Every structure is written in structure tokens, then in C-alpha cells.
Structure 1
Amino acid sequence: MKSFLSLCALLLLLMIIQGNVYAHPGRTDSSGGHTCRTNCSQWGLEDGEYHYHDGSGSNESDSSDSTSSDESTSSESSNDALDKDCSDFSSYDEVVEYWNSKGYSKTYDPERLDGWGNKVDDGIPCEAPSDYDTTRINNSPAQLAEKEAEKDLDSGEEVGYKTGLSDGQKGLSSNSFSKGSDSYQEGYEKGYEVGYKEGTTQFETLKKNAFKSGYALGEKQDKLKVPQKYGTIKALTSSYEEGFNKAIKEKDEKKKEEYLASGIKDGKADVLNEPEKAKDIFLDAYQKGYKIGQEELKETYVKQGYAAAFTILNYEEPDFEEEKYKDWYKEGFKSNVKIKDIVNVAYQAGLDGKSSSVPEKYQHAKTIYQYNFDKGTKDRKKNNQAVGSVFGLGMIGWLGRRFYVARKMLK
């Protein structure tokens, strides 16, 4: 019983060892074996040792004749020409170049380079160095992810551009927010900015055109009517109305000037003729002008009264039809304060006995000057007579006193 158990254990051990020896990667030739070229000791083999994966032929190889050896060598050479192991390449770049040239992928790898040394097929041939850029490997996960990211980037940029262009053309606020992968959002934001800038430029042109159209309408008529193509977007409607209102304002300002001039003319002629059915701003302009004209008319009568004060000694009411003309005339007459200076100068000249010639500066008030000069002269003569009388009376008194004293002495 013990011998039987020992024999079973020995057979099981031999099966495990044999499985480990032959269960390494690499395709087999038509004979079911191939030559080990790398990490052979790991599999219990010698470097360059030819072996079978199914376990057959290993013990028989020692007793095979030269013909069998030649066939194996020939079969090995044929297999090497058709199949490659990772150990057949001098560098990993060479592995990648071969993999790419064959068009291999995770799902198409007839030489089993993907599974060599890997637990699972991952689309990466052999063992890639840790710092190797696997995007260079055709159909690798990194390359596929990179292509997908590029696709998302392009898609996001295209959609973002269209959306940005539309928002810009409508005068909307910039909003480059989007959902999706990071690459998609990156492309969307980039495309949106470009589109929004172009759309905004186009929108500014539309706004200018809307303003010009509104201005042209305002020049023709006073009633606003926004066309449909400018009425659907608020900003364009505002530009159209702005242009219209500007034209109306300029037109109104021109009319206001006309009504102002008309009012001034009527005011100077003292004929009130207010416009009927006119805008309040035009009526106000006319009334303002009329008031200005009345002020100018008044000034003419005030000046007449002022000038008359230089020529007449006392105020004389003029023969005007309108009472307000007489009032304005009298106001000007009384406002002439220079007459007082002339009166004083002329009177003093006469009082001082100066020449009776009217100075050049007072020629415009010759009558006033002459009258007051003569008045001064008369007062001067009166003063002289008064002084003479006083002196004569004094002399008489003195002589009388002397006569009285002399008479007393003679007695």
C-alpha cells in the first residue's frame, strides 16, 4: 500500500515538472516543438534547447538518428521564418515596428506576441518598458484612448464653434460650458471662443445696419415701424430704434430752429402767430423766439427814451399807439443817469465863470449843458451882487460910526 502511494506521488511530481518545463510562451512548429531562446532556465531548459510542448519526443531525442536531427533542424529553421518570439528582437522599438507592420492588435495576434510574458492579452506586445510611450503601438489601449480623445476634441470644437457662432450672432452672453469628456470640453471651449468672436463681429455689423435703417426711416416719417428682420432680436431692435430716434431728434432740432426764428421775427413785429397742431417742442420754440423778439423790440423803445433824455429838459410823453411802447420809452428816459453828471458839470462851469462853449464830449447833450451852464452863470451873478450889497452896507455903517465919533469930539 505504501509503495503504491509513493509511486502515485512520484508520477504526479513528474507530471508537474514536465508541465512547468513545457508551458512557456512561443508557437510550435509542425513537429509540436520549438527552440528556447530566452529565460530558458526559468522553464528548466538549456539556452538553444529544442523541446516539445506536449511532452512527446523529449526522451526519444537522445536515441534519434541523424535523419531525425536534420528534420528537427530544418523544421526549426522553417518555423523561425514564419514565427517570432519576443526574444528575437534586439530592442522594444524593433518589437513595435514589427507589430505595427503586421497590423497586429489585441484581437489579432497570430504570433501570440501580446500574451508573451503577460497574464492577459492587453494589446501590448511582449513586455513594454515602464516608461515607454505605448501610444506608438498600433491599437494599444493608450493609442485607442488618444484617438478617442482626438475625436472628442474635434467633435467638441466643431459643436462649440457652431454654438458660439450662433450665440454671437444673436448678441447673447458668452457661455462655453459643456458636458462630456475632458477632451470634448476642451475642444468645445476652444471652438466656442472662435465662433463667438466671429458671431459677435457679424452681430456688430448687423447692429450698424439696423441703426442705419432706423435712421433712414426717421428721416422719412415720424412713426416707428421695426422690420421683422430686426424685430426678433432685442439688441437689433434697440439699434434700429436708436437710429430712428436720432433721425427724429435731428429733424426736430432743425424744425425747432425754424420755429424759434419765426417767433423772433413775429416778436419784433409785435404780431403773435402761434403755430396750430404743432408738437409741444415746436410751440415752446416759437414762444421762446417770440419772447426774444419782444425783448429786442422793447430795447429799441428804451434806447429812444434814453437818447431823448439828452435832448429835452423835461420828460415829454411820446405819441405812440401802444401803451407798452410809451412805458418802454419812459423807462429808457429815466434810466439815463449820465444826465445828472452833465447837469452838475455844466452848472459848475457857469458858476465858475468858465467859457460858455459846450465841450466836444457833451455835444450830444448840448441843450442840457447850455441850460445848466446858464443857470450857473445866473447864480454866480446873484452871488456877486449879494456880496457887493453886503460890502456897501458895511462901508456905510463904518462911515456913520466915524461921523458920530467925530461929532462927539467937536462938542
Structure 2
Amino acid sequence: MKFIKRLLNVFLVLFLVGSISIDSREIVEAHPGNTDAYGCHTCWTNCAKWGLSTGEYHCHGGSSPSSGSSNNNNTYNSSSNSYQQQLLAEQERQRQEELKKQQELLRQQQIQAEKDDGYSKGYNYKLSNPDADKESMEGKSENYIAGYDEGFAKALNELRAKTLDEAKKNAKKDSEILDEPDLTVPEGLIKDYYLSQYEYYFDTYEEDFFKDIKNDARASALIDAYNYLGPFDYSDEIPKKAQKVHSRTYKKYYKSYSDNIENLKSSAREKGKEDGEDFLPYDLSDFDPYEDYAMYKDIVEEYQDGYSYGRNSKIAQYSVFILVLALLVLYIIQKKRKKELAIEKAEDVTTISERSLGEPIESKKIDSAPKNQTSTNKINEDHDKSSMDQEHVSNSNQNSEKLESQLKAENKQQKPKEEDNIKKRIRIKKKFNIEPETKVKHIKFGKGKVTKVEGKYFTVKFSSHKESKFIFPEAFEKGYLELLDNLDHKED
């Protein structure tokens, strides 16, 4: 039908072109400009096109003006004939060009008509026969074959797309309910292509389906376990094909998550203990992923218990350490005090022994002397001071020797350590012989006199009126002080 319509259109165009060509032959001497009473005028525009000169006066039929001559008439006739010939030639050329255009148009329409016919046949044939190959093209034009191939390919592509969509859709549905693929091919589809795609997507969707089932079972187990909801039976909500897989997976993960609760609680307690021992603030950030579950409360409690335990344990450790340190300091102090008491006791024994031997010591100058000291120990104040010093040194040496013998006899039953201390004290006494009025010399303050003796301490008043307290015998042993009395006796 399309082909017939196109032929009719071609004939109509040819008819119109022919009519125009016939009408154009009747046109004679047509160029712009009005004529005068004699049918003549002067050419001013495109004169060369009409075979005239610019400004040339000429006539178009009828009689010429009275003033005209025979030469003008001849010139006009010759120009008119030349113009008519050029006009006819141009019209013929245009007619031939138009005819060629119409012929080319007609040829293209015929080619397209053949292609359209082949396209329609190829397209409809493939749609009606999805599994068939192309028909025989014997005796068909190239244009028809080209159209047929195009239509056939178009139908093949549409069939493949339709077949793929159907194969994927059916595979998706069947993979969730069937144990085996359904190899029935729907009508209107490419059989081999459908089966290959259906089987491929059936396996793929089935694998994805079971993955989804397992993931669903795992998620359900996690929620139920962490919320203390207990194991559930989800068989009514799961496709029959996947019920066993879902049940097996759910039980497996429910047990795993239930056991993990204890691990999480243990981890929370351990972390709380570490934070408590380090006196850090509460930090449950490691357990934030479990905040939305019921078991999170137990995790917090375990963390707090561990934190309190760790903090109290560390405090107890510090307390024990401080107590041990305090006891050690106390022990050192007591030991030092015992040593001082032993030295003071030795000093007291020495003082008592000296008094018993009648050594002259004035009570007003020695604060440690007993108040009931007998008057027999006083030294005659009227004696000469130099004689008293010599006698004092002699008596001190004699008394020290007697005192050493006496102490050895009296202290045989005492401990060796105490005996050694007494001996050491006696040796120091013999060497330095410190008592009030003893003259000494300090390496910085110069000369002075002992004014008071209190146990192991003694006070010296220097010539600068400065009084200082020293420890006996360290002040002499370390070289801060030296005796002047001994030096004076040596000089005498």
C-alpha cells in the first residue's frame, strides 16, 4: 500500500512539471518595464540578459513611433529573436534539471519501498519463529535483503531481551520454592537461550536465597540471645524449602551468641578492674555496639564491679606499702633511740663511777650531776688554779684507770655489744676529758670554755660571747674542736 501511494505521488509531480513547461513556452519577451503607445520602451535593468544595451530604445510588437526608421525596426527584430532563443534554452535546462530530480526522487522511493517491504517480512518472520533462521533470499533485490536483515536483527534483539527477562523472573521465583529447575520454555521465546539463562540464574538466585535465609537466621539469633528472649521456632515464617537451613543456622548462632554474653561480661569486668587500678574515669565505649540490647545492663554491672574491685585493691596495696614504710621508719627511729639510750646509760655509769672515786665536779656547772652529790667531792676553792688543773688531770687519769677495771668487773654479765659501747665511751673520755671549765678551740669561733655537759651534748661559750651546743665526741673526732687544756699541760 505504501509503495502504491508513493507511485501516485511521483506521477502527480511529473504532471505538474509538464504543465509548467508548456505554459513557459507561451511567454515571449518578458522583462521588466512599461511600454509607450507604440509598445516600446527604454531598457535600463539587466539589459544584457535580453540582448540589449543599457539605455537602448526598443519595441515589443505593434507599430514603431513616427520618428523611427527602418534601421531601428531591423535592430529590434534581431534582438528580439536572440532574446527568445536564450529564454527558451534556459527554460529547457530548468525543465531537464527538474525532471532529473523527480526521477532521482522516484528511484529513492522505490529503494525505500523495497527496504520497508524486506524489513517488515524479516521482523514479522523472526517474531513468529523465535528459533528459526533467515528465509531464502533467492530472487530478492539487494534493497529487499538489506531491509529483511535489519528487521530480522531487530526482532532477534527484542526476543533475546524478552527471553532473558522471562528467564530471570522465573528463575527467581522457582529458586525459592523448587528443589530443581523447571525446564519448561514459555512460548514466544528463544528456547536454547532461555534454558541457558534460566539454569544459570536459578543457581545464582538459589545461592543468594539461602544466603539471605542464613543471614536472617543469624540476625534473629543475635537479637533473641542478647535480649534474653530464648530460642524461637520461625518455621511458619520461612518458605518450606529453606526451613531446615534456617532452623539449623538459628540454633548454631543462638548458642554462639549466648556463650558470647559471658565473654563480654568477663571482658567488661576485666576492663573495669584495669581502669579502677589506674584510677581512670568510667569508660564503656568498647561496649557501645551492645547498648541497645538487654544484656548491656549486665555488662555495665560487671564493669562497675570490676572497677570497684580494682580501685579498692590498688588502695589496699598502697595502704600496705605506706604501713610497711611507716613501720620501717618507726623501727629505724627505735633502733636509733636504743643506741642513744645505751650511750646515755654508759655515760651515767661513767659519771657515777667518777663520783664514787671522788672526782671534783661542781654541781652548778654540770646539770646532769645528781643533786645529792656529797660535799666531799668539792674542790677547795682557795687552791691555786694551776695546781688544781694539774691535780685534776692526774686524778682524772687515775680515776679513769680505776673506772675501767671497775666497769669490767661489774659488766661481765652484760651483753657484748653494751660492753663494747662502754669501752668505747671510756676511751673517748680518756682522750678528750670533757667537763665544765674545759678549755677548747673552735676552727671558726676561736677559743672558749665548756659551760654545760648534758649527756652526749655540751655547751661552749666563746670569747665572742657566743654560745654553741655540740655533740660529744663527734665535734672532736671531726676536727671542729680541740682541747686547749692538754696543750697547756704539755707546755708546762
- TM above 0.5, yes or no, is no
What is the TM-score when the length of structure 1 is the normalising length? 0.41
From the CA coordinates, give the structure whose radius of gyration is larger: 2
What is the TM-score when the length of structure 2 is the normalising length? 0.36
